């Protein structure tokens, strides 16, 4: 794995389920070239992991603060972790 890769583990709170948040996250991650995954949590939040360059991951985290048009984001909690070398971006269940 190339150096300079970072991993952000993100939990998004607010009105983020039933508003195409996961689908839009996949589109944005693919546009930015970020690897990882996104899923709904049982408590109504959305969890995601983003891996890529510091610039790419920072752009993805910034995007999470707004999300798709129908979303109402109240909080984005970010924890940086050691990258695992994930390839591609997917919705997991």
The mean pLDDT of the chain is: 96
In the structure, what pLDDT confidence band is assigned to residue 66 with cuts at 50, 70 and 90?
Answer: very high
Active-site residue flag, 30: no
SS3 72: strand
Q: What is the pTM of this model?
A: 0.95
- In this prediction, residue 3 has a pLDDT band, given cuts at 50, 70 and 90, of low
Catalytic site residue from 7, 22, 35, 45: 22
> What is the 3-class SS of 18-82, one letter each residue?
CCCHHHHHHHHHHHHCCEEEEEECCCCCEEEEEEEEHHHHHHHHHHHCCCCCCCEEEEEEEEEEC
Domain residue ranges of the chain, discontinuous segments joined by + = 5-91
Exactly one of 40, 45, 66, 93 is catalytic; name it.
40
- Has residue 2 got a pLDDT over 90? no
Enter the CATH code of domain 5-91. 3.30.70.100
List pLDDT tens digits, range 21-43.
999 999 999 999 999 999 999 99
């Amino acid at each position: 794995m190339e150096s300079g890769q970072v991993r952000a583990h993100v939990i998004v709170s607010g009105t983020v389920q039933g508003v195409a948040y996961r689908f839009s996250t996949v589109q944005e991650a693919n546009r930015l070239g970020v690897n990882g995954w996104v899923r709904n949590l049982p408590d109504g939040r959305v969890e995601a992991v983003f891996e890529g360059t510091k610039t790419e991951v920072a752009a993805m985290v910034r995007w999470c603060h707004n999300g798709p048009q129908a979303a109402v984001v109240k909080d984005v909690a970010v924890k940086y972790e050691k990258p695992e070398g994930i390839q591609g971006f997917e919705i997991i269940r």
